[in-house]
Structure 1
Amino acid sequence: MAKDGNGHAAAMRKLRRLVKGIRVAMMTTTTGDGTLHSRPMATCEALDEDGALWFFTSCETAKVHEINADHHVNIAYSDPENDRYVSLAGMARVVRDREKMQKLWSPMLRVWFPRGLDEPDIALLRVEVDRAEYWDPSAGLFSAIVSRVRSAVTGAPGFPARHGRIDLRHAEEQPRAA
């Protein structure tokens, strides 16, 4: 991932703000026959200093086998109550770094890993994000009200969110009309 200073830092700040508080994401991988396979995943660290997402996993899962065969993944965050949606595409890999696992461990993870970090096949998934697409209500309250009134009057769907894309490889943002 290119880190060109201000552009990259600004893109990371924006993405961190957009995913803040959304604990569960849908991770999509590709199966051996090309089918897309999604499942919910609890985010342990969202966009660290290197722009990576971190998730705990067991090594003997379909997702790990799929990631080992094809590292491309999509991570989708959804916050419908606040009209916030973020889709992150990148490359995933399995990491068995005990120190990082200790840093990211949360007692809530015992639901999936009853023996904690002593589980024999526990690992982390590190997703290095390359591209992002988002829908964000930062257009403001007035725009949201106008969009909803227009939708109510005309029957046409209204969506007040700002839509944009960010290419983290080049740290450039491409705003789009919603």
Structure 2
Amino acid sequence: MADQTPVTNDLAKLIEKIKDVHIAMLTTSDEEHHLRSRPMGTIKPDTSGSLYFFTDKNSAKVYEVKKDQQVNLAYSNTDDSIYVSVSGSAKAYRDQKKINELWSEPMRAWFPKGKEDESIYILEVTIEKGEYWESPGNIITQAYAYVRALATGERTKTDDVNQHAKVEVK
């Protein structure tokens, strides 16, 4: 079966889907080439196509992205039935000016010495492509999909009640 998912270059729409979802599952490849995922708090999605995170300079993810920059981020907002997968290249570095720009006081829970803590690294993921799914979860939409399936004998199509698209960054 051919994939009929629409493809767009609308990075802003992808960013809009994740801007309020603060936790992503970051997947990297470890030294044995096994996939490894862990939750990360997105600090600020950038409209230019970068996502920023703070991490400890000695964390395994810093080592892993130096060996293999390809990563995946998975976002899930179950309240609004929005799911996003982002693929991109990651780099880990220290930039005090950028740390100052991105710092917020709740980050002190992970970095008690504050924004001057030498162990703070920035993990920047440059979005290369993404995919999102959005399905309105209200009872009327679900009822429509159910009745349509009964009447036509066909499953709900993406363009009926759902949004699904691939985003290719130029």
TM-score range (shorter-chain normalised) is: 0.7 to 0.9
Q: What residue identity is the alignment partner of 1:34? A: H
Contact 2:25 2:74 in 1 (8 A): yes
- With normalisation by structure 1, the TM-score equals 0.78
CA contact (8 A) 2:81 2:136 kept: no
Q: Does 1:164 align with 2:165?
A: yes
2:117 to 116, 119, 130: 119
> For residue 118 of structure 1, what is the amino acid of its counterpart?
E
How big is the shift at 1:121? 1.5
- Given that residues 144 and 161 in structure 1 are in contact (C-alpha distance below 8 angstroms), is that contact kept between their aligned partners in structure 2? no
What CA distance in whole angstroms lies between the structure 1 residues aligned with 2:48 and 2:69?
Answer: 18
Task: Describe the superposition over 1:122-170 as per-residue Cα deviations: whole angstroms up to 9, x where unpaired.
Answer: 11011000000110237998654422556899xx99785322111113x
Q: Structure 1 residues 60 and 151, CA, compared in 2 at 3 Å: closer, same or farther?
A: farther
The alpha carbon displacement at 1:120 in A equals: 2.0
2:43 alignment partner in structure 1: 44
Which residue type is aligned with residue 73 of structure 1?
V
| TM-score, normalization by structure 2 | 0.82
Distance of aligned partners of 1:49 and 1:151 in 2 relative to their CA distance in 1, 3 Å threshold: same
Gaps of 5+ in 1: 1-6, 170-178
Gaps of 5+ in 2: 1-7
- Distance in 2, Cα, partners of 1:116 & 1:151: 55
Pair 1:78-2:76 in alignment: yes
Measured on the aligned residues, the alpha-carbon RMSD in Å equals 2.8
Q: Tell me which residue corresponds to 2:96.
A: 98
SS in structure 1 of the partner of residue 79 of structure 2:
helix
Please list the CA deviations of residues 42-94 of structure 1 after superposition, one character each: whole Å capped at 9, or x if unmatched. 11111x14210000011101111111100000011100111100000000001
**Alpha carbons of structure 1 residues 49 and 18: separation in structure 2 relative to 1, 3 Å:** closer
Shift of 1:26: 0.6
Structure 1 residue 20: Cα displacement: 2.1
Offset at 1:12? 2.1
Structure 2 counterpart of 1:32, one-letter code:
E
The DSSP-based 3-state class of the residue aligned with 1:75 is strand
May I ask how many residue pairs the two structures share in their alignment?
A: 158
Asked if structure 2 preserves the Cα contact closer than 8 Å seen for 1:139 and 1:161, the reply is no
1:27 and 1:41 in contact (8 A); partners too:
yes
Percent identity between matched residues is: 34
Aligned mates of 1:149, 1:23 — CA distance in 2: 35
Structure 1 residue 36, shift from structure 2 partner: 0.6
Partner amino acid, structure 2, of 1:134:
Y
Q: Is the CA contact (8 Å cut-off) linking 1:137 and 1:144 kept in structure 2?
A: no
1:1-178 matched pairs, under 5 angstroms: 8=9, 11-46=10-45, 48-137=46-135, 143-148=141-146, 160-169=161-170
Task: Write the letter of the residue equivalent to 2:162.
Answer: A
